[in-house]
Amino acid sequence: MKAYFIKRYGKAEVLTSGELPEPALGEDDVLVQIHAAGVNPVDYKIRNGEFKLLLPYTMPLILGSDLAGVIVRVGARVRRFKVGDEVYARSHDDRIGTFAEFIAIKEDALALKPAKLTMAEASSIPLVALTAWQALVEKGQLKQGQKVLIHAGSGGVGTIAIQLARHIGATVATTASAANADMLKGLGADIVIDYKKDDFSTKLKDYDLVLDTQGGNTLKKSLSVLKPGGKLIGIAGPPDPDFARQRGMNGFFRLVMGLLSYGIRKAARRNGASYSFLFMKASGRQLGEISSLIDAGHIRPVVDRVFPFEQTRQALDYVETGRAKGKVVIKVR
């Protein structure tokens, strides 16, 4: 099968294309013929080697973790899906590889593709929607009538998180450039703060939840907008000890994670708030709930550009610029 892969970590030039063996199928796996693959910042970060201590991959490594396609074979223990089903998924961290014609993926990562979406649209959803769901619903426990700040609203996670928060019934504020304000209000944002002109920390107060996608100074300043008991959830780090425990890391790594996040966790406690790090996990069950919201019209994909499979490297380069509105997709088939 044709695939885009790396043989070593590095910048854009290490990504190459070629023929690789079709993946072997386990008893709990389905083999999916990929029609489209979503592109995410995590893809170039993995290529660059930023996660090599957390995710020890073997080479050659096919990149990509979002997909939409058709099942062509099922493992002996698969019960929920059959050959011919149109599905979409975010693959498990240890089995990425959607920049290819086929992938073997565990049944529990899959959901049926929303009927109203094209393959390209569906492939844009899994990672960002699962991130939004796990941040706002699972970890943040966002409720109707609460207030949430979602940073970088025009990004992949932001565009879905705004819609999900609005569906829940929360008041939604977001940061973005003025050029994207109308689009974000159309998705459900009540307040759009122009990050180039205004300081969000002086404009907002008494928020129940902040979803931070930026890290650094933005993460620290986000504490000032929270009310006592508020929650700051970061997906750009730093990782915390709970993350290390969830991934089964040893005591040394738990200590390291604790040191990395000590400052922000201490500052949060001082403000009467809490900080937690989210590293999204694959979940076909949660993706099925998201599908219901899509089919009901509560969430819609926001796709910036669709690249042909032959331009996979260019698609990754474009995502790396940080200028994409919503998601970038590769049309594999």
Per residue in 144-195, pLDDT (tens digit) is: 999 999 999 999 999 999 999 999 999 999 999 999 999 999 999 999 999 9
Residue type, 198: D
Residue 245 pLDDT level (bands cut at 50, 70, 90): confident
pLDDT of residue 121: 98
Residue 28 pLDDT level (bands cut at 50, 70, 90): very high
pLDDT of residue 251: 84
Dump pLDDT digits (tens) for 127-142. 999 999 999 999 999 9
Task: Please state, in angstroms and rounded to a whole number, the distance separating the CA atoms of residues 260 and 271.
Answer: 19
Closest among 146, 152, 144 to 169, alpha carbons compared: 144
Q: How far is CA 151 from CA 23, 177, 203, 285, 323, in A?
A: 38, 11, 14, 26, 15
Query: Picking from 49-53, 107-111, 244-248, which range would have the lowest pLDDT averaged per residue?
Result: 244-248
Residue type, 79: R
Query: Domains of the chain (ranges plus CATH)?
Result: 2-125+301-331 (3.90.180.10), 127-277 (3.40.50.720)
Residue type, 18: G
Dump pLDDT digits (tens) for 187-236. 999 999 999 999 999 999 999 999 999 999 999 999 999 999 999 999 99
Task: Please state, in angstroms and rounded to a whole number, the distance separating the CA atoms of residues 279 and 45.
Answer: 14
Residue 242 in this model has a pLDDT that exceeds 90: no
Task: Please state, in angstroms and rounded to a whole number, the distance separating the CA atoms of residues 53 and 35.
Answer: 31
Closest among 180, 164, 31 to 102, alpha carbons compared: 31
Residue 265 in this model has a pLDDT that exceeds 90: yes
Q: How far is CA 20 from CA 43, 102, 162, 228, in A?
A: 19, 10, 39, 54
pLDDT of residue 250: 84
Residue type, 48: N
Residue 110 pLDDT level (bands cut at 50, 70, 90): very high
Dump pLDDT digits (tens) for 32-48. 999 999 999 999 999 99
Whether the CB-CB separation of 65 and 330 falls below 8 Å is answered with no
pLDDT of residue 256: 85
SS3 track for the chain = CEEEEECCCCCHHHCEEEECCCCCCCCCEEEEEEEEEEECHHHHHHHHCCCCCCCCCCCCEECCCEEEEEEEEECCCCCCCCCCCEEEEECCHHHCCCCECEEEEEHHHEEECCCCCCHHHHHCCHHHHHHHHHHHHHHCCCCCCCEEEECCCCCHHHHHHHHHHHHHCCEEEEEECHHHHHHHHHHCCCEEEECCCCCHHHHCCCEEEEEECCCHHHHHHHHHHEEEEEEEEECCCCCCHHHHHHCCCCHHHHHHHHHHHHHHHHHHHHCCCEEEECCCCCCHHHHHHHHHHHHCCCCCCCEEEEEEHHHHHHHHHHHHCCCCCCEEEEECC
pLDDT of residue 87: 98
Buried b (16+ CB within 10 A) or exposed e, 79-108: eebeeebbbbbbbebebbbbbbbbbbbbbe
Closest among 73, 130, 38, 32 to 315, alpha carbons compared: 38
pLDDT of residue 252: 83
pLDDT of residue 304: 97
Whether the CB-CB separation of 90 and 131 falls below 8 Å is answered with no
Tokens describing residue 74: 């099922």
pLDDT of residue 172: 98
pLDDT of residue 21: 96
Query: Cα 301 to chain center, whole Å?
Result: 13
Q: Report the DSSP beta bridge partners of residue 73.
A: 31
Dump pLDDT digits (tens) for 288-301. 999 999 999 999 99
- Report the length, in residues, of the chain: 333
Dump pLDDT digits (tens) for 30-88. 999 999 999 999 999 999 999 888 888 999 999 999 999 999 999 999 999 999 999 99
pLDDT of residue 215: 92
